[in-house]
């Protein structure tokens, strides 16, 4: 398939001159997503400072380009034809953490596992619910991630963002709207750069023990050893997607290399050679079973991005529209 967008040599040269920035071209996205699925991105850049991120956005804005921003690619499915725009990856670059008393300042690319470890090592409690979640702080803030009664929004004091034209701005907690699996960032043209969190003090041993308990429980209930994008569907009103899928007999259903986990029905795992089209077809099948049996229309939590393969464009395009409803 001929790409609809190809980064010019001039634009690449401009990005290469930005300090604290890694630039790659023709990058397989399967290596940058937890699903291990996805065609190549025309270009992938990894800023190591907020200032570098701001410079990237200024350059792309002036060139008329709007990038795709990712953390560790843990809540996304990249289509088999790849990504024609520039991908800005925050994980692996923006990963600095500072602790001052009961406050933590962390870059958006910081892994939640690293944030949990920093909390435990400094005797700060409140983030244990995120133990074992393979995402980043920026992604958690964007979707107001949470589990076991906790969520990131309740601990957030401020967030620094970069606008699409490359300006750094800091928003206070009362300027940010957080709700269930949602935040005002989803409606804003910006990228989260760093955030300040305020937690409660505890002993290191107490926090470590809580984290170990959460991880143990997660390992028992979820297929953490298999490539996936986390929960596929959002929780429906007054019910659980996993329960409905389980009751509908979804566990073990397969399309190609994509399989509904036997451990948790709201997880689709990559059994080794799954394609994005396999995943999309399986999503459509299990959603249809739940709709037929319970009259519930499940909404996907996984973000679908990229281009379908030309050979399957018409089929996959219709599946994408179904998957993201």
CATH number of the domain encompassing residue 66: 3.30.43.10
Nearest to 300 by CA among 246, 236, 238, 221: 236
Shared-domain flag, residues 59 and 84: yes
Q: What are 253's two structure tokens?
A: 């259903």
The share of the chain scoring above pLDDT 70, in percent, equals 93
Hunting for tokens 């395009």 — which residue is that?
317
pLDDT at residue 315 greater than cutoff 50 = no
Q: What is the pLDDT of residues 121-158, one digit of tens each?
A: 999 999 999 988 888 999 999 989 888 778 999 999 99
In a domain, 25, yes or no: yes
235 & 215 share domain: no
Residues 50 and 114 both lie in one domain: no
Q: Which pLDDT tens digit goes with each residue over 251-260?
A: 999 999 999 9
Both 29 and 126 in one domain: the answer is no
Name the percent of the chain lying above pLDDT 90: 81
Q: What pLDDT was estimated at residue 147?
A: 81
Ranges 29-33, 129-133, 164-168, 271-275: which has the least confidence = 129-133
CB atoms within 10 A of CB 221: 12
Residue 184: domain span? 97-219
Flag whether 233 is in a domain: yes
Residue ending a domain, choose from 219, 253, 275:
219
Where do we find the tokens 């991630």? 145
173 within a domain of the structure (yes/no): yes
Classify residue 189: in a domain, yes or no: yes
Q: How many angstroms separate the Cα of 215 from the Cα of each of 17, 129, 132?
A: 42, 9, 5
Question: What tokens does 230 get?
Answer: 């986390």
2 domain-assigned: no
Position 321 pLDDT exceeds 70:
no
**Token match 């803030």: residue?**
141
Tell me, yes or no, whether 304 and 230 share the same domain. Answer: yes
Q: Is residue 114 part of a domain?
A: yes
C-alpha pair distances (Å), 219 with each of 212, 213, 214, 264:
11, 10, 9, 11
> Domain holding 108: CATH number?
3.30.465.10
Instruction: Identify the H or E element spanning 45.
Output: strand 40-47
The domain total for the chain is: 3
pLDDT of residue 310: 73
pLDDT confidence of residue 3: 45
Summarised one tens digit per residue, pLDDT across range 60-108 is 999 999 999 999 998 899 999 999 989 999 999 999 999 999 999 999 9
Give the distance, in angstroms, between the CA of residue 250 and the centroid of all CA atoms in the same chain: 24
In a domain, 4, yes or no: no
Bridge partners of residue 163, in order along the sequence: 190
pLDDT of residue 169: 97
- Are residues 215 and 299 part of one domain? no
Which of 94, 103, 89 is closest to 50 using CA atoms? 94
| pLDDT band at residue 20 under the 50/70/90 scheme | very high
Please tell me the predicted confidence (pLDDT) of residue 273. Answer: 92
- pLDDT (0 to 100) of residue 4: 45
Least confident of 9-13, 16-20, 135-139, 233-237: 9-13
Claim to verify: residue 318 and residue 252 sit in the same structural domain: yes
> What does the H/E/C string look like for 271-305?
CCCCCHHHHHHHHHHHHHHHHHHHCCCCCECCEEE
In this predicted structure, which of 85-94, 224-233, 239-248, 302-311 has the lowest mean pLDDT?
302-311
User: Which pLDDT score, from 0 to 100, does residue 317 have?
Assistant: 52
Give the residue from 72, 89, 106 where a domain finishes: 89
Residue 111 has pLDDT above 80, yes or no: yes
Least Cα distance to 84 among 164, 30, 25 occurs for 25
CATH at 264: 3.90.78.10
Average pLDDT of the chain is: 91
194-223 mean pLDDT? 93
Domain boundary among 203, 219, 235: 219
1 within domain boundaries: no
């Amino acid at each position: 398939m001929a790409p609809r967008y190809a980064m010019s040599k001039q634009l690449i040269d401009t990005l290469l001159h930005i300090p604290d920035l890694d630039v790659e071209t023709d990058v397989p996205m399967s290596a940058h997503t937890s699903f291990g699925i996805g065609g190549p991105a025309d270009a992938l850049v990894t800023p190591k400072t907020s200032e570098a991120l701001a410079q990237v956005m200024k350059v792309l804005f002036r060139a008329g380009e709007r990038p795709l921003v990712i953390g560790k690619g843990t809540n996304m499915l990249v289509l088999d034809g790849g990504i024609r725009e520039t991908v800005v990856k925050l994980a692996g670059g923006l990963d600095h953490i500072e602790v001052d008393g009961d406050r933590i300042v962390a870059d958006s690319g910081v892994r939640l596992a690293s944030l949990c470890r920093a909390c435990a090592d400094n005797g700060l409690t409140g983030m244990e619910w995120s133990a074992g979640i393979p995402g980043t702080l920026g992604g958690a803030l964007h979707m107001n991630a949470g589990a076991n009664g906790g969520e990131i929004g309740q601990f957030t004091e401020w967030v620094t963002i970069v606008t699409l034209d490359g300006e750094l701005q800091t928003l206070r907690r009362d300027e940010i709207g957080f709700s269930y699996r949602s935040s005002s960032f989803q409606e804003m043209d910006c990228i989260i750069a760093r955030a300040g969190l305020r937690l409660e003090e505890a002993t290191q041993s107490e926090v470590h023990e809580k984290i170990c308990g959460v991880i143990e429980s997660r390992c028992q209930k979820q297929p953490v050893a298999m490539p996936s994008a986390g929960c596929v569907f959002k929780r429906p009103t007054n019910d659980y997607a996993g329960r409905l899928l389980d009751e509908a007999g979804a566990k073990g259903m397969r399309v190609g290399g994509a399989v509904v986990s036997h451990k948790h029905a709201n997880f689709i795992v990559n059994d080794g050679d799954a394609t994005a089209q396999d995943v999309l077809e399986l999503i459509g099948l299990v959603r249809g079973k739940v709709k037929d049996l319970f009259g519930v229309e499940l909404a996907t939590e996984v973000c679908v991005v990229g281009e379908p393969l030309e050979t399957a464009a018409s089929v996959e395009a219709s599946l994408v529209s179904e998957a993201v409803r």
